[in-house]
Chains A and B, each alone.
Chain A
Amino acid sequence: MGGVLAGAAVVALLLHGLISVAGMGNAAILLHGLVTVALVFFAWTMMGSSTGSTEQILQDGARESAVENVLMQTYPQFSNQFSGANSDMSQVQVLLADAIEKLMSSFDGMHRLIDSQRQSASSVMVSHSGQDGQASLESFLDETSDTLKQLVGSIVNNSKVGMELVEKMDSVSQQVRGILKVLGEIDGISKQTNLLALNAAIEAARAGEAGRGFAVVADEVRKLSARAEHFSQQIRANVNQVHDAIEDAEQSITRMATLDMDFALRSKKQLEVTLTQVQSMNENMTAVIQQQTSISHEVDMVVGRAITSLQFQDLVNQLLGHARLRLDSMETAWHKIGDWARESGRDGSIPREKIEQMRLEIDSILAQAGETSIRKPVSQEQMQTGDIELF
């Protein structure tokens, strides 16, 4: 019997070595414990198969001091491993719960941000399409285009009127030149009148005393001719001023008309280009907003998938809880076995009824452990969405 246990201990040591080499950290401690427990039970079963009933084994075992020694020696380590594994698993549960809670908060924040982004995008869309009583960008562009076209049209019209005005000024200018020609005629007349007055004065002098009266008339005619000449020169100076002013005005109007026309035509062309650009910018913006909306929907879907996957924590937590229940049963059974070994070591022998009672206790613990392991709370083996059934 001692040989079986010694063999089991060697196998356990070898397996422990292998587990340590595999380097699984905390899980290794748990596995150490479980392997040892398994091997002790294996040895126990071996003993059972060699002698018959469980009662017989326990009686035999009570007499076997080697078994007691092994139990007494390994008992504290087993207790350590049991509680170590238990606290490791509880630590995993706490860590997972904490991590998932923080992850969920992050996803929550992400979702909020995406949502507010989507809302601002859709508000832009709303003002775009002219709901809420706001003028839409498109109709604003159309109105602007119409107004500017009207403006350009009136500028072109002004230029045309300006050109007509220039033509009219030209004809006024010709009229003025006509007036100057007529004034030349008046000058000729006054020169001729002056000459006639001179001749009349000469004839009056030659007539002597009889021509004295005529000489006075001839002098008056000369004065009249001089006044006429003076008057004609004044008119000429005035008309010349008018002529110059008209010429200036003509030049100004010509400059303005051509300038206006050029400006209007250039503006019209530029305006068309700008409006086309704004139009295409508007189209681009609409496309970008639509794209953004569809991206935020995709993000929502991805977050949804993440949330499905994050529920692994609940599944793992329940499985760990279940594993801890199993471990607890093992620990309780192990404590019973330890108590038993201690008592038999102290008393040398245990009364038959006491052994029977312990056997029943251990049997009931193991039966309970068996029940616990059958009712597994989680049967999922993959993280796909669970079934939905409405009754």
Chain B
Amino acid sequence: MAKTVLSVDDSSSIRQMVAFTLKSAGYEVIEAADGQEGLNKAKMKTVDLVLTDQNMPKMDGLTLIKTLRSMPAYRVVPILMLTTESSDAMKMQGKAAGATGWLVKPFDPQKLLEVVKKVIG
């Protein structure tokens, strides 16, 4: 069965590009426009990978990661940060919050696929 990826980003174009890239490789993609919506959708269905932006209205990426990590269903699910933030300080915060990896925008579709494949197969 196809693995499901939850793409959380307030930019609809980024969600569109992530969905385009992952769907073309056979993944199923669920979209959410902010951290809160992402959290709700993650609760409705346990996904195989969460790909989230950092700066978003309502709930940011770091908070989303922390909240998900506190839930038993998401203790080991890979969570990747896809953001324009590139400072080491932010990355350290991400790592501390429980992120599996940190991708700085803009992403290269091919490399995104490689990372996703590496993380969830």
Q: Which interface residue of A309, A317, A386 has the most chain B CB atoms within 10 A?
A: A386
Given A315-B106, A388-B103: A380 in contact with B115 (beta carbons within 8 A): no
Task: Report B78-121 CB contacts with A as 1/0, cut-off 8 Å.
Answer: 00000011110001001100011111111111110001001100
Are B11 and A317 neighbours in the complex by a CB distance under 8 Å? yes
Are A387 and B13 neighbours in the complex by a CB distance under 8 Å? no
Are A313 and B86 neighbours in the complex by a CB distance under 8 Å? no
Q: How large is the interface on B (under 10, 10 to 19, 20 to 34, 35 or more residues)?
A: 20 to 34
Complex CA distance for A317 and B84, rounded to whole angstroms: 11
A31 CB within 8 Å of chain B: no
What residue of chain B has the Cβ atom nearest to residue A391's Cβ?
A: B95
What residue of chain A has the Cβ atom nearest to residue B85's Cβ?
A: A377
Residue from A104, A379, A383, A385 within 8 A of B16 (CB atoms): A104
Report chain B residues within 8 Å CB of A317. 11
Task: Report A372-390 CB contacts with B as 1/0, cut-off 8 Å.
Answer: 0000011110011111111
Which stretch (B17-25, B44-52, B66-74) binds chain A? B17-25
Beyond known contacts A311-B17, A377-B85: 14 more, CB 8 A cutoff: A97-B11, A104-B20, A111-B20, A307-B20, A307-B21, A311-B14, A311-B107, A314-B84, A318-B84, A383-B106, A385-B108, A387-B102, A387-B104, A388-B115
State the Cβ distance, A381 to closest chain B Cβ, in Å: 11
Q: Which chain A residues (82-136) contact chain B, with CB distance < 8 Å?
A: 97, 100-101, 104-105, 107-108, 111, 115
Report chain A residues within 8 Å CB of B11. 97, 313-314, 317
B55 CB within 8 Å of chain A: yes
Complex CA distance for A105 and B20, rounded to whole angstroms: 9
Are A377 and B109 neighbours in the complex by a CB distance under 8 Å? no
State the Cβ distance, B34 to closest chain A Cβ, in Å: 14
Report chain A residues within 8 Å CB of B20. 104, 107-108, 111, 307
Report chain B residues within 8 Å CB of A385. 106-108, 111
Report chain B residues within 8 Å CB of A301. 110
Are A391 and B13 neighbours in the complex by a CB distance under 8 Å? no
Are B106 and A377 neighbours in the complex by a CB distance under 8 Å? no
State the Cβ distance, A263 to closest chain B Cβ, in Å: 58
Q: Which interface residue of A104, A301, A379 has the most chain B CB atoms within 10 A?
A: A104
Report chain B residues within 8 Å CB of A305. 108
State the Cβ distance, A310 to closest chain B Cβ, in Å: 7
Report chain A residues within 8 Å CB of B86. 379-380, 386-387
State the Cβ distance, A342 to closest chain B Cβ, in Å: 34
Are B108 and A313 neighbours in the complex by a CB distance under 8 Å? no
Complex CA distance for A389 and B99, rounded to whole angstroms: 11
Complex CA distance for A101 and B11, rounded to whole angstroms: 10
Complex CA distance for A379 and B118, rounded to whole angstroms: 27
Complex CA distance for A387 and B16, rounded to whole angstroms: 21
Complex CA distance for A105 and B12, rounded to whole angstroms: 12
A150 CB within 8 Å of chain B: no
What residue of chain A has the Cβ atom nearest to residue B55's Cβ?
A: A377
Residue from A111, A303, A308, A391 within 8 A of B100 (CB atoms): A391
Report chain B residues within 8 Å CB of A97. 11-13
